[in-house]
Amino acid sequence: MLQSTKQEKITTQHIFHEEQLEGIDFNSIPKHVAIIMDGNRRWAIQKNLPYELGYVKGAERLKETVQAAMELKIETLTVYAFSTENWKRPKEEVDILLDLFKEYLIAERTGMAQHGICLTTIGDVSVFNNELKEALVQTRETTKGGDKLNLVLALNYGGRDDLLRAFRRIAQGCVEEELQVSQISESLIDRYLDTAEFTDPDLLIRTSGEFRISNFLVWQLAYTEVNVLKDYWPEFSSEHLLRAVNNYIKRERRCGI
């Protein structure tokens, strides 16, 4: 079983110094930040390390990012953890990833609950093994009262799959005469997506320098501000998040107007 190099819970020690947050207009902070955590394998290969250590380091980066998001008063943090396309990777690599997800959920469950983090997922998690599904159920139950940050793990998630499942449910509603075709609108589609309980992301951050969304939140990212970083995900830090947020605050969001 793959073991993380750090098993400590999220601490109460602040990540940001007071002076780092001076001058930030917290009323303009992006309420929902989405992250494509890309480049774990490439980071490890570049450093001549086993690729699985890239994922371990990536899990550590997520823990720090969660705490940093809380200090910045971000309300929702959605991270692309495992896509529908990731099943195409070698089985050994997939098994390592799924095992790491389970360990993360178990190790961080109590700390998330203590610090007001509510964990949820998007994507079709029904396909995962029973151990991972049980860890997800227990962590969601343990953290359901969290009101400081919504941490959304995108697991077996694909934007097109999200839309496909939503359209099928809408079509079924029409067949069963629970819905009329004339009722289908953007707002109705929103209600059938995995992200129905959340607002669309205000800011998307992608690491590793790739300029694409890789089938992530295809519908929801229509007017999202995008910030692409050359750094790999294991190199991502609280300072990267702070710079991305400050950059977002300075932008003029016209949303097509």
What span, in angstroms and rounded, lies between the C-alpha atoms of 101 and 24? Answer: 34
Query: What residues have CB less than 8 Å from 231, skipping those under 6 apart?
Result: 39, 207, 208, 240
The radius of gyration of the chain's CA atoms, rounded to the nearest angstrom, is 19
Task: Write out the E strands in 149-243.
Answer: 149-157, 203-206, 225-228
What span, in angstroms and rounded, lies between the C-alpha atoms of 222 and 206? Answer: 16
For residue 73, give the nearest of 111, 118, 23, 26 by alpha carbon.
Answer: 26
129 among known catalytic residues: no
38 among known catalytic residues: yes
User: Active site residue: 38, 99, 161, 194, which one?
Assistant: 38
Between CA 248 and CA 254, with CA 249 as vertex, the angle to 5 degrees is: 75
Burial label for 185, CB within 10 Å (0-12, 13-18, 19+), is exposed
What span, in angstroms and rounded, lies between the C-alpha atoms of 164 and 170? Answer: 10
User: Active site residue: 27, 40, 86, 231, which one?
Assistant: 86
Q: What is the DSSP letter of 43?
A: H
Query: Which of the residues are catalytic?
Result: 38, 86
